[in-house]
């Protein structure tokens, strides 16, 4: 059995307090910088690498971070998780999303059901369904093929699958495996559903209602909105709508749907892209083989996350450096900066993943912790961000650790040499230049043009964004967030903080309001 101890009760916490800080500007300048770029790199799954040369760490600090990992039993806790312990203490649930993508340890059997087999069986059912749709065996009321798939969901039932779809859309077109166009409806703002419906051919569209709980107001409202639109268009909704939910939800086993696919309570919404939640839309859009490749990449990263040596375990190392920055260097935020347009929604997915998981103030046992926990996450793709918020990142009063992501090859492969370089080369040159500019700064007599530098960053580098590398990227961040939650001794797998606003919105709609709530609802004349 592992020990669940608060971070500040560890000997290594005290040791971290006493380490000699590293001056990023100094160590990244000249030869020392070149050495660090070469040496401070850890291989990741799917031929990617996590390079942390420009982070404020050195061999001494890394040795203490290894002690934190050992003392807090981080990889042992991961082992407990994938072997089926009740890691989600708040909701008394197992945490099994990794099992959707492969067997990591022992069989996990709950109420006689082998969970890996259950998740695999759902994937197989979805694969058969998707293949039948693509082959024209499952068709619309007029006997015609479906061409579009629309996911209706919010939060984890939207962000991850949407980010993954966008990440692979152009790759799939280029590799002739885009089987159906996908669209997403999430917001209860009627303009969201209306705009999507206006843009598609509803007669040839399949709609997946995705809600683990089957009770989310926005999703149920949008499902009814779409149902209404289909009826008005003279289309039978039961031939066009699917459900993806848990077997115990109000949406389960409902004749209203053409078919239903299941996940369960042991997979948190923000971790559900690997379950039926992501599998349905991605298998319909790209084909089941592509989804299987995505899962293979994620599984490879899950295997790497078992390594006890932090220099062989990029997710663990990334997590520990993040903790050091958060708790000892006092950095409150992290920017996610993919130099890849395909990853345009990946920062939004990571925002939910990280902030909903680790935005907590009490430990696993409900006791307040005396140290800070999860950082604020934001981000946009480069180079666009450079012309927007990088000013603050370079010269602002707040130091923001930066998480760059970059690839050597484009997805579409169409490029032009303009003034001696391709656009891809320009993209890569920009990310390299930014890392050095942030780290080393630039002295100038004019204070307005002076750059202090000393701004830490890391980069994940891959050859190309494809299903395998994307899967590995997804799992890398899930595992990073998990390890950080273990260090902070918090429960990363519930989200009670989301509930209060939901309850109050229901009260406003029911006119059951008092005090400030009444004033606000009057103001909005609801
Ligand atoms: O999939 P659902 O049950 O509809 O939940 C959708 C989302 O809503 C909640 O408010 C949670 O904060 C999210 O973690 C969840 O992903």
Instruction: Render pLDDT for 274-321 as a digit per residue (tens, 0 to 9).
Output: 999 999 999 999 999 999 999 999 999 999 999 999 999 999 999 999
Identify which of 393, 402, 395 has the alpha carbon closest to the alpha carbon of residue 444. 395
Catalytic choice (92, 142, 368, 387)? 387
Structural tokens at position 355: 């902030």
Q: pLDDT tens for residues 101-140?
A: 999 999 999 999 999 999 999 999 999 999 999 999 999 9
Asked if 502 is an active-site residue, the reply is: yes
DSSP 176-226: T---SEEEEE--SSHHHHHHHHHHS-GGGEEEEEE-SSS--HHHHHHHHHH
Asked if 356 is an active-site residue, the reply is: yes
Q: What distance in Å separates the CA atoms of residue 515 and residue 433, rounded to the nearest whole number?
A: 54
Query: What is the reported pTM?
Result: 0.98
CA distances from 280 to 57, 107, 161, 229, 417 (A): 42, 25, 9, 22, 40
Q: Which atom of ligand 1 is nearest to the CA of 219?
A: 4
Q: Answer for the pair 211, 220: CB distance below 8 angstroms, yes or no.
A: yes
Strand order in the sheet with 259-263: 181-185, 148-152, 205-210, 241-246, 259-263
Q: pLDDT tens for residues 195-251?
A: 999 999 999 999 999 999 999 999 999 999 999 999 999 999 999 999 999 999 999
User: What is the rounded radius of gyration, in angstroms, for the C-alpha atoms of the chain?
Assistant: 24
Mean pLDDT value across residues 49-61: 98
Res. 376: pLDDT tops 90: yes
Provide the residue count of the chain.
Answer: 526
Q: What distance in Å separates the CA atoms of residue 459 and residue 201, rounded to the nearest whole number?
A: 41
Which of 188, 495, 496 is the best mutation target for the ligand 1 pocket, counting ligand atoms within 8 Å of the beta carbon and taking the most? Answer: 495
112 phi and psi, to 5 degrees? 80, 0
Structural tokens at position 519: 């004033």
Strand order in the sheet with 402-407: 41-43, 49-51, 457-462, 402-407, 333-339, 376-379
Q: Answer for the pair 150, 208: CB distance below 8 angstroms, yes or no.
A: yes
Mean pLDDT value across residues 340-364: 98
Identify which of 77, 66, 62, 65 has the alpha carbon closest to the alpha carbon of residue 5. 77
- Ligand 1-lining residues (CB < 6 angstroms): 154-157, 211-213, 216, 219, 269-270, 356, 495, 498
Report CA torsion sign: 202, 203, 205, 211: positive
| pLDDT at site 499 | 87
CA distances from 511 to 72, 74, 221, 506 (A): 49, 48, 19, 9
| pLDDT at site 370 | 98
Q: What distance in Å separates the CA atoms of residue 478 and residue 63, rounded to the nearest whole number?
A: 24
Q: Which atom of ligand 1 is nearest to the CA of 216?
A: 4
Ramachandran category for residue 525: left, alpha or beta (phi over 0 → left; psi -120 to 50 → alpha): left
Q: Ligand 1 centroid vs 201 CA: distance in angstroms? A: 28
| pLDDT at site 475 | 98
| pLDDT at site 99 | 98
Q: Ligand 1 centroid vs 137 CA: distance in angstroms? A: 33
CA atoms within 13 Å, Cβ hemisphere of 108:
25
- The helix/strand/coil state of 458 is strand
Q: Which atom of ligand 1 is nearest to the CA of 499?
A: 10
Q: Which atom of ligand 1 is nearest to the CA of 210?
A: 1
Nearest CA to ligand 1 atom 14: 269
Bridge partners (DSSP) of residue 206 are 149
């Amino acid at each position: 059995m592992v020990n669940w101890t608060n971070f500040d009760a560890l000997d290594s916490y005290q040791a971290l307090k006493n380490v000699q800080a590293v001056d990023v500007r100094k160590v990244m300048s000249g030869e020392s910088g070149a050495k660090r770029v070469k040496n401070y790199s850890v291989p990741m799954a799917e031929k990617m690498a996590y390079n942390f040369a420009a982070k404020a760490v050195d061999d001494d600090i890394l040795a203490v971070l290894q002690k934190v990992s050992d003392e807090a039993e981080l990889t042992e806790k991961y082992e407990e998780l994938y072997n089926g312990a009740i890691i989600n203490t708040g909701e008394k649930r197992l945490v099994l999303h990794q099992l959707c993508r492969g067997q990591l340890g022992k069989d996990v059997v709950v109420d006689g059901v082998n969970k890996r087999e259950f998740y695999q069986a759902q994937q197989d059912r979805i694969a058969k369904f998707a293949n039948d749709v693509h082959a024209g065996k499952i068709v619309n009321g007029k006997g015609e093929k479906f061409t579009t798939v629309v996911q209706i969901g919010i939060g984890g039932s939207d962000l991850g699958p949407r980010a993954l779809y966008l990440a692979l859309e152009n790759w799939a077109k280029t590799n002739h495996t885009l089987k159906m166009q996908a669209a997403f409806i999430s917001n209860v703002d009627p303009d969201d559903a209306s705009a999507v419906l206006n843009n598609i051919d509803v007669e040839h569209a399949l709609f997946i209602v995705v809600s683990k709980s089957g009770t989310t107001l926005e999703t149920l409202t949008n499902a009814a909105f779409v149902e209404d639109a289909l009826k008005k268009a003279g289309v039978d909704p039961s031939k066009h709508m699917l459900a993806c939910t848990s077997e115990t939800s109000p949406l389960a086993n409902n004749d209203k749907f053409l078919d239903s696919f299941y996940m369960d309570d042991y997979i948190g919404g923000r971790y559900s892209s690997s379950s039926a939640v992501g599998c349905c839309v991605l298998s319909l859009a790209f084909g089941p083989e592509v989804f299987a490749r995505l899962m293979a990449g994620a599984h490879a990263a899950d295997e790497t996350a078992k390594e006890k040596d932090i220099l062989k375990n990029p997710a663990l190392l990334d997590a520990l450096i993040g903790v050091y920055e958060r708790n000892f260097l006092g950095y409150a935020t992290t920017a996610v900066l993919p130099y890849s347009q395909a990853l345009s929604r990946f920062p939004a997915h990571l925002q939910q993943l990280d902030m909903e998981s680790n935005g907590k103030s009490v430990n696993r046992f409900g006791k307040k912790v005396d140290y800070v926990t999860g950082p604020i996450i934001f981000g946009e793709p480069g180079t666009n961000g450079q012309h927007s918020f990088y000013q603050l990142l370079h010269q602002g009063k707040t130091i923001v650790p930066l998480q760059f992501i970059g690839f050597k090859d484009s997805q579409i492969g169409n490029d032009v040499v303009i003034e001696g370089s391709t656009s891809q080369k320009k993209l890569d040159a920009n990310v390299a230049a930014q890392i050095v500019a942030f780290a080393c700064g630039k002295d100038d007599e004019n204070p307005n043009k002076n750059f202090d530098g000393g701004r830490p960053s890391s980069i994940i580098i891959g050859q190309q964004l494809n299903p395998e590398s994307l899967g590995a990227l997804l799992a890398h961040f899930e595992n990073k967030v998990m390890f950080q939650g273990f260090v902070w001794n918090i429960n990363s797998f519930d989200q009670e903080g989301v509930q209060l606003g939901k309850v109050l919105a229901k009260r406003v709609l029911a006119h059951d309001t008092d005090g400030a709530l009444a004033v606000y609802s009057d103001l909005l004349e609801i």
